[in-house]
Every structure is written in structure tokens, then in C-alpha cells.
Amino acid sequence: MAMLEVKDLEVYYGMIQAIKGISFEVNQGEVIALIGANGAGKTTTLQTITGMLQAKKGHILFEGQDITKVPGHKIVTMGMAHVPEGRRVFANLSVYENLKLGAYTRKDKNEIAQSLEMVYESFPRLKERRNQSAGTLSGGEQQMLAMGRALMSKPRIILMDEPSMGLSPIFVDEIFKIIQQVSAAGTTVLLVEQNAKKALAIADRAYVLETGKIALSGDAKELMNNESIKKAYLGE
């Protein structure tokens, strides 16, 4: 059984159909990349899975349970975390306070403290800046904070929306290394990413979205060598 299963999903913005009956699955322990041009429906797909948008048709199953109509805040408690596009950290709160907010669904103080230590180990820069307000961090550091905050909910699956967007190449490399570490530590990853080359390099499998439909899917390494993908997304 797939950990996350999306079946015949249709999503509309008013009269406009953004997602046209897509189906895909994510298995436990995989890194799955959703790639595609701007406006292909990648962000819409993630927002629908995490309950921020309502599907018009279709089903979303998480660990066998239908979550299609479950509100977003409940989905977090079930073990799914979402790192939204554009980071969305709380600028006026400290790094530490932002991270603590990530654990709001959890009760055990000792376990929360352990998670905090784990996040500080993965992101030493956040530890150094833990008392700084999040608004003073660079874009790359804010992205790390958004990822760290999502990990504080101890998710079994983490959905990341454009984590490398707007970052300098050095930070992009660092963010992708961290995604690999998150995966190696046992968290399943669904990654939406414009940087197709980077995404395919770390993913197990990938789905290519074109105007709300899945145009191609398969092993990430194979897609990397696919001529049409090279032309359209890898700039070759």
C-alpha cells in the first residue's frame, strides 16, 4: 500500500480547471519529485493534499485513510508536514519560537526537546541564530527555518514546495543536501521543484506535470536522460 495516494484529482479555481484528473502515489521512504513549468499545477496539487484547497473530484489517501475532506490542521496531526512556497516564517518571532510553533500538535516536552536538538544538528546555522528574529535571516536561512519548523511536527511525510526558489547556488546545494539527510533519517519526501535537474538528481521517482495533467512519470534517473525532458526542463 502506498503511503500517499492521489486518485483522479480535479481542482478548480472558480471556472478554471487547474488539476485535470491526476493520479500518483508516494511509497514509504521515497523521495518523489513533481516537476513542470510555472502554472502546471504543482503548488495546487500540494495545497490540495494538505487541505488548503478543496478537490472538486477524486480522492487523497494517506496511509490508507481518506483525507480528501480533512481540514489542514488535522492533517498535520496525522503525520504530514508542508513547507510552503515562499518560506512564510514568522518574521517577528525568534528562530527558536518559530521552531517551537512547528511542534504545536505535540504534547511530550522531552520529545519536543529531542526534536529541537535534532533540528539544530541538521541546521547548525539555526542554532547559532536561535535568538535572532526570523526576519533578519537570509533567504536561504529562512528556507532552512521553514524546513526545520516542519520537521518539529515529527512528520512521516514532508511536502516541500519550491525549496530552492530565489536562493543563491551555494544555498541551493545546501538545501538539497538537507533534503537527502531528511530522507536518509526515514522521512518520506514529496518535492515540488522548478530546478528539475537538482530534483531528479536526488529523487527516486518523478512525475512531470503539464497544464494540470501528468505527462510523464518514471524512475528519476531515467527521466533525466529522456530527450524531451532534457529539452523542456534541463536546458539541454
Q: Which residue type sits at 89?
A: V
Our CA dihedral for 178, 30, 96, 106, rounded to 10 degrees, sits at -160
pLDDT in tens, 99-117: 999 998 888 899 999 999 9
Place 91 in a pLDDT band, splitting at 50, 70 and 90: very high
**Sheet with strand 213-219: strands edge to edge:** 80-83, 157-161, 188-192, 31-35, 205-210, 213-219
pLDDT in tens, 155-184: 999 999 999 998 889 889 999 999 999 999
DSSP string computed for the chain: --SEEEEEEEEEETTEEEEEEEEEEE-TT-EEEEE--TTSSHHHHHHHHTTSS--SEEEEEETTEE-TT--HHHHHHTTEEEE-TT----TTSBHHHHHHHHTTT---HHHHHHHHHHHHHH-HHHHHTTTSBGGGS-HHHHHHHHHHHHHTT--SEEEEE-TTTT--HHHHHHHHHHHHHHHHTT-EEEEE-S-HHHHHHH-SEEEEEETTEEEEEEEHHHHHT-HHHHHHHS--
Q: Nearest CA to 235 among 205, 200, 204, 192? A: 200
Place 64 in a pLDDT band, splitting at 50, 70 and 90: very high
Please, how many CA atoms are within 13 Å of residue 148, restricted to the half-sphere of its CB?
30
Q: Nearest CA to 26 among 174, 219, 188, 158? A: 188
Place 236 in a pLDDT band, splitting at 50, 70 and 90: low
Q: What is the mean pLDDT of residues 57-76?
A: 94
> What is the Cα Rg of the chain in Å?
17
pLDDT at residue 187 greater than cutoff 80: yes
Q: pLDDT value at position 163?
A: 93
Q: pLDDT value at position 215?
A: 93
Q: pLDDT value at position 65?
A: 95
* Percent of the chain surpassing pLDDT 70: 100
CA distance 236 to 231: 5
Mean pLDDT, rounded, of the chain? 93
pTM: 0.92
pLDDT at residue 142 greater than cutoff 80: yes
What is the grid cell recorded at 197? 535537474
Q: What is the mean pLDDT of residues 21-44?
A: 94
pLDDT at residue 24 greater than cutoff 80: yes
pLDDT at residue 18 greater than cutoff 90: yes
CA distance 223 to 156: 26
pLDDT in tens, 145-161: 999 999 999 999 999 99
Q: What is the mean pLDDT of residues 78-87?
A: 88
Q: Nearest CA to 85 among 171, 38, 146, 11? A: 146
Beta pairing class for 65-66 and 57-62 = antiparallel
Give me the domains of the chain, ranges plus CATH numbers. 4-88+155-233 (3.40.50.300)
